[in-house]
Amino acid sequence: MLARWIARVSSAARIKVDLSMTVPWIIGAAAAGILAGPGIRAIVFLRSTAAGQPSRRDCPACDHVLLAAGRPWRWALPVTGRCRACQRRIGPLPLAVELCCAAALGIVAFRATSIWELAAFGWFVLLAIPLACIDVAVYRLPDILTITAAIGSIALLTGAALTAGHPARLGRVLLGAAVLSGCFLALLLVAPNSMGLGDAKLGVSTGAVLAWVSWQTLLTGALGAFLLAGLYSGALIAMRRATAATPVPMGMFIVAGAVAAILLGPVRL
C-alpha cells in the first residue's frame, strides 16, 4: 500500500523514485522518529524555561528529578507525557512529538536522494521539532539548538555536495541560509512584534536545507510559514482569544512550512 501511494504521488509530481530504496528509507526514518520521541521530549522539558532562567530538570509539581545531571544521551521522558512520580502532565501531549518526528522524517526520507542528504534533512528535523515545541511553550528558541541545527545542517550538506560531485551547490546552501536569516532579521527590525531573534537564527538552518532543494522550495517554505502563521492568528482573533498584538510562535510555522516545502519541492537537479 505504501509503495503504491508513493508511486502515485511521484507520478503526479513527475518524480523518479526507486521504490526498492525509498520504502525502506521511509519506514526506517519513521521508526527512528518514534524512537527519538522520548529524548526529544526531554530536550523540550529541559529548555522550556523563560529567557535567563536555568534549565528545568525537576517536576514542577512534586520536585521529582526527571533529568539527572550528566549523561544527556540517557535523558528521556515517558511517551505518556506525565511525571512518573505524581502523574502530572509535563511537556507536549502524549505521542504528539513521536508522531511529528515520524511524519517529518518519513517525508524527508521520501525526498532524499542520498545518505548524506537524508542525514542533513534528518538533523534539521530532529532539532527543529523540539525548537517548535519550546517556542509554543515559552515563546523563545534557545541558541544551543538553533546554532547546533545550523552547524550540523550546513556541515552535512557540505558532505552531500562534495560526495555528489556538485561543490557549486554548496554556494546556494550558504546563500540560502544568509537570505532567509537576513529576511527574518529585517522583519524583526521593521516589525519587532512579528519575529524574534531566535527566528532569524532558525532561518540559517532552514534556509540552508530549503535552498539545497531549490530556490523555489526556499520561497515556498518562507511563504508557507507566514501563511500558516496568518491563518493561526486570524483564527484566534476570530474566536476572540487573541488580538493583533498577541505574539505568535513563529518557530512552529517556520518548521511546518519547511517540511511541507520539502515534500512539495521540485525534482532536484
Report domain extents, the chain: 2-264
CB 37 within 8 A of CB 98: yes
Cα-flanking dihedrals φ and ψ of residue 248, to 5°? -120, 135
Give me the tens of pLDDT residue by residue for the chain, a chain 269 residues long. Answer: 544 544 444 444 444 444 445 788 899 999 999 999 999 999 999 999 988 888 888 988 898 888 887 766 678 888 888 888 898 988 888 899 999 999 999 999 998 888 999 999 999 999 999 999 999 999 999 999 999 999 999 999 999 999 988 888 999 999 999 999 999 999 999 988 888 999 999 999 999 999 999 999 999 999 999 999 999 989 988 988 878 778 889 999 999 999 999 998 764 43
DSSP summary character for residue 239 = T
Measured distance CA(226)–CA(74) in Å, rounded: 37
Q: Which pTM does this prediction carry? A: 0.87
Burial class for 190, CB neighbours closer than 10 Å (0-12, 13-18, 19+):
exposed
Q: What are phi and psi of 242, to 5 degrees?
A: -160, 170
Residue 62 and residue 85 in contact, taking contact as beta carbons nearer than 8 Å: yes
Give me 179's grid cell. Answer: 537570505
CB atoms within 10 A of CB 147: 14
Q: For the purposes of burial, counting CB atoms within 10 Å of the CB of 11, is it exposed (0-12), middle (13-18) or buried (19 or more)?
A: exposed
Contact in structure between 124 and 130 (CB atoms under 8 Å): no
